[in-house]
Amino acid sequence: MNKTYLKLTLDLDFILIAITAPLKDYVLCHKINTRLNTQFEKIEDHEIFFNIDEPAWSFSKYYFFVEQGEVEYYLICNKSSDGFLIPEMSKVDFFIIIKEFIDKEDLDYLINGLNKLPDIQVAAKIDPTKLRSRENLVI
């Protein structure tokens, strides 16, 4: 009997920024919107099923779209009442996922702007392929 194997690969074609900030998600969004002139808005929570027999874990999610270049930005909480979205990065409070192309100057502007906010301890670009739980970031 012949066996057929299906090999799946994750679409990790996005930029990932990790943010450490001891703030509520809506407070952080307001500060980012005010400082960086963005328009993050709350959307339906990001849900992850860790076990098929248990309910999904929900993580707050915000969305911002830039028509020029069709760039999508997602701000997702790393923590919920159930646990961590990316457990190996438990010190990180939020992630920003940037889908589509963004040039280096715009990315540097965003990261520098985030790091200038007094409530953000650190904001840094992370390579999503190096994370064990990277599949939890697929939107």
Angle at 43 between CA 16 and CA 104, to 5 degrees: 25
How many Å separate Cα 133 from the centre of its chain?
A: 13
Does pLDDT of 88 surpass 90? yes
Q: What is the DSSP letter of 88?
A: G
Position 126 pLDDT exceeds 90: yes
Q: In the predicted model, what is the mean pLDDT of residues 53-57? A: 87
Q: What average pLDDT does the segment 82-96 reach?
A: 94
Q: Is the pTM of the predicted complex or chain greater than 0.85?
A: yes
Dihedral of alpha carbons 117, 119, 122, 124, sign: negative
Gap between the Cα atoms of 19 and 40, Å rounded: 15
Q: How far apart are CA 74 and CA 26, in angstroms?
A: 13
Q: What is the CA radius of gyration of the chain?
A: 16
